[in-house]
Amino acid sequence: MQAAAELDLAGALPTGRLVVEASAGTGKTYAVAAFVTRLVAEDDIPIRQILVTTFTRVAAQELRDRIRLRLLGALEFLRSGGGLGARDSVEAALSACDAAQRTLRSQRLANAVSEFDTATISTIHGFCQRVLRMAGSNAQLAELGGSGSELVAEVVNDMLVAASTQAQTWDSSRLERIVKAKLGNPTARLWQADAAAGNGAAALDLVQRCVDEVNRRMLSTLSYDALLQTAVRLVGDPEAAALRAAVQARFAVAVVDEAQDTDPLQWQLFDALFPVAGRGRLIVVGDPKQSIYAFRGADVNSYLHARASAERKTLSTNFRSDQALLDVLNCLMAAAQFGPQIEYQPVQAAPGQQHKRAGSGAAVAELLVLPADYDSDLLHHSVVQKVRAVLDSDLQPAGTVARAARPGDVAILVDNRYLGRQLENALLRAGIPAVSGGTDAVTNSTACTELRSLLQALVWPAAQGPARRVALGWFGSQQLADLAVQDDAALVLMQESLAVWAVVLQRHGVAALGVQLLAREQTLQRMLAAGHGERRLTDLAHLLELLHERTHGSGTQPQLALDVLNDLGRLEETHELISRRVESDADAVQILTVHAAKGLQFPVVLVPIEWKQPAKMKHDRPPIYRNQPDDLERRIDVSWLLGKGQDEAWERVAAERAAEQARLLYVAVTRAQHKLVLWLASDEHAAATALYQCFGIQHVSSGAAQLSAQLAERIRDLGSSLLIADVAPGALAAVAALPRAVQNAQPEALRLAAPPPPVAQHFRRWSFSRIVARSAAHFDGGPAGMDEFLHPVEQEEIALAALPSAPAGLLAAQPAGTQFGTLVHAILQRTDASAAALEDEIALHVPRVGLAVKGLAQRPALVAGLAAALRTPLGPALNEVRLCDLQPAARLPELWFDLTLAEGSGQLRASDIGRLLADQLPKADVLRPYADRLAAAEFDIALSGMLTGSIDALLQLPGAAGQLLVVDYKSNRLAVPGAADAAQAYLPQQLCRSMEDNHYMLQALLYLVAAYRFLRWRTARPDPTVQLAGFAYLFVRGMLGPDTPRDATNNPAGVFAWQAPPGLIGSLSQLLAGRLQL
């Protein structure tokens, strides 16, 4: 195959079809974002006319985030007039024009940013839904896609009943599987070598009739497979020229990401809508070496066939790995084949990663040879020892100084969940923190069992059995011993709780039910009691999220929620929806399947996989294969239904699986940034494994010495960069704390054992108010999750007489206390501050939430006062923006959060926050005095568990940067009611004292950490600090509108705003997570 030319992302933009082959780490997503940015800025293609598709929903969300960030970065660069300096060749190309053209390009990018929600960046199935809507189809997508298992079973049963008068009998389970295979591979051909012999023709006819009947019954509710088929049929209809023209007018350019995971039907769709001879542009980005999703219908031969009709270019600069590691892979895999026409492409490290080259320094790659007769314990022990060795060494990422390796630097890639669980347990027993993700289905978890039991009890709340099961589980309060008592009162209480939860689910939905369940401290204590607490919390949150999405975020019946959960349980365990998520962002070794690790990167990667083909292939599914390796058409051997004649088919299946194993190996070894460790088998079957084949190891060696001799010629230039060593049998030393010495032992006499000291419980559900209350030594056991103090009710709160009139628009005459504060918060959360008739908008919400507030004075004054607050400029630090300037889309109200705190008793203390502030804040910073108070003994409180709270609002400020401001509304009464100079009490200097006295500064810092982590998750930026504009605490009683008094520095009353210095919030987040030692 002729070598492809290198792609220049700053070169001429494609005008027809272009295939970009990007090896692992060379920046596929980066290239897609660059193409979109240049098409918008240079070719004046609106963002709404660019179609971007990818393989999974997760990948689609990542693409959306990356493209938006790229557009924002390019816009910021062009608006600076080049003053920021081009960060890469793409920005240099954008600025290579005159000033007028730069202004025009800036405007195009600004339009793209403002209209970004109109962009179509989705999975191929999401695009198919759009095509069906454009065609006027009212077909609905089945909730969970797939091939409709229940419908297939129903059709098969009907067909077999109709055929029951015939002499031939059929295996219904086999018939169901072969029908599903055809539905999942619609372009595959039903095939039998000798259809005329025996019942071959009858088998072919029966399968085809079942498939046709399933498709007929799914016309109104489509599976994912049927959705794609319907879209292809619609656009391929010769009489559908108007539909094709409409789609082509809607999308001037299509970009297909992860194209190696497409299938023939998808290419038929793109060929019809963006033909080679047409005017539309089609940019295809992929890597056939990473095609590892055949079990989901991906067909790498389809990609290879499409590649032949397009201009082909490649990316060969790796931005992930050190040059020394790439030298090793380029050497060992130089002749590797990953399927027909799929060869290894050597890559070179980016300039920043070339500080380490082969032959210098310690080994960056290791091949560890296992004995021929090793057992699994030896492999597990070897992995643990290697992790320990890594943790005892230093890492030196490019451009940084060497640092000690941390558990979070290490990833272990496995090929099955059993191995993943075994390794996780081995690491935990050795005292090494480890978490897993993608190694199992969440529907197999304890959380799923508990949630199913709860939903069953909600369906039948009067039934004693389901209620007792819930009472003994996470969401109950009984112990197993309580069953012997048969306490009817306790059972009634449980049933009453179930009745309340059922109403919450019916009225407000799954999310509201989840909030109620997790707000119960007893629930958290039960979930966390037996260890693996974060694992359980993650699984439960995952399931609740899936149920929330599939019940459309609204109230639902318990039976429907239970049906959805059961439907999830019927999905393939490898389905992305139910693949278990990593339970923690704590500093721990990550254990992932190779499939789950695709697209990720890790400093150190360990791959303890045997890569063996099974000695005897399971024949529990029909063989799907190609007659020749490079054929586009696949066959489904129908003789499997008859249980005969498939030997040749299974041989072809085995060859295709071997090629996919090679591609899995490629994905695994290319996840590493700095170090890679592989384990090799050395038994008689090892030579046939993907590792031996791809690394060009011709003969099985009995040990490291023989393997080194066999590879000597090839690896000579690698020097010390590659280590080949034996895995020696031997016991793993246990890691355990030394037993405490026994003092005053009296072996000759019996003594009465002293009771153990009380257990110090640090792991709990914390909030800002709980931390402050503990510091003042008056914690009264208030509910976790409260984010404000429950102050004693003041006399003004219960007085019925109206207080003296306040100055116009001032809220000083309103009662003090918690009730009024809750009222203000509720009104502001519901109010559209941008409404033209603002007073009318506020008044709409006062009757709904204000009836219960006693002593509420002058309701019109309340409306006028809140309207004045919303019209108050927030000061020069925030560009004088007012809350009424912000549209609802720029406001995220009531952002609840749960943050994991450092694990381990006494590892994190509240006073550490003060020490960090004192270390990083300038002496002149307004928060600096508070840092000393926070670092004092008053806050020497051990923290562990979860930190919970609720941010009143997250506001997106006007401007291209789109910075987010954390806002909290305060109704504190700082002035005497009726005082003429009441507003003076709300000037920033006085607010600073109130912020410190009430510890609002601590609250604000915790809110900033929550917003920081939220942005890090949503934007995929490792450090989103630049997107945070700080916090603003708005004391509404002092905000009087445009005429609000100001201090000598022009800052308005009622507004306390602060922005953290660079790096502080990231450091604080690391501190709370236990990753920063002071």
- The catalytic residue positions are 968
**Gyration radius of the chain over CA positions:** 32
Strand 1055-1058 and strand 1028-1035: the pairing is antiparallel
Cα–Cα distances (Å) from 316 to 34, 143, 214, 320, 490, in that order, read 16, 41, 46, 12, 67
Q: Which H or E run includes 712?
A: helix 704-715
Contact status, residue 240 vs residue 140, Cβ threshold 8 Å: no
* Separation of first and last alpha carbons in the chain: 57
Spell out the residues 6+ positions from residue 170 whose beta carbon is closer than 8 angstroms to its own.
160, 163, 206, 641
Q: Which H or E run includes 17?
A: strand 17-22
Nearest Cα residue to 299 out of 348, 228, 227? 228
Reading the block at residue 340, the tokens are: 């027909």
Residue 903, SS3? Answer: coil
How many Cβ atoms from other residues are within 10 Å of residue 490's Cβ?
A: 16
Contact status, residue 111 vs residue 71, Cβ threshold 8 Å: no
* DSSP state at residue 337: B
Cα–Cα distances (Å) from 16 to 28, 382, 499, 626, in that order, read 19, 53, 62, 31
Reading the block at residue 145, the tokens are: 């896609």
Nearest Cα residue to 985 out of 1038, 1047, 1055, 927? 1038
Spell out the residues 6+ positions from residue 994 whose beta carbon is closer than 8 angstroms to its own.
972, 974, 1000, 1035
3-class secondary structure for 658-678?
Answer: HHHHHHHHHHHHCCEEEEEEE
602-607 sheet: strands from edge to edge: 434-437, 589-593, 410-414, 602-607, 672-680, 365-369, 722-726
Nearest Cα residue to 234 out of 346, 137, 326? 137
Reading the block at residue 828, the tokens are: 């502001």
Contact status, residue 301 vs residue 631, Cβ threshold 8 Å: yes
How many Cβ atoms from other residues are within 10 Å of residue 705's Cβ?
A: 13
Give CA angle at 1003 (998, 1009), nearest 5°.
165
For residue 616, with 0-12 CB atoms within 10 Å meaning exposed, 13-18 middle and 19 or more buried, which class applies? exposed
Could you tell me which residues are beta bridge partners of residue 22? 315
* DSSP state at residue 856: -
* DSSP state at residue 948: E
Give CA angle at 1024 (1018, 1029), nearest 5°.
110
How many Cβ atoms from other residues are within 10 Å of residue 618's Cβ?
A: 6
Reading the block at residue 238, the tokens are: 């010769």
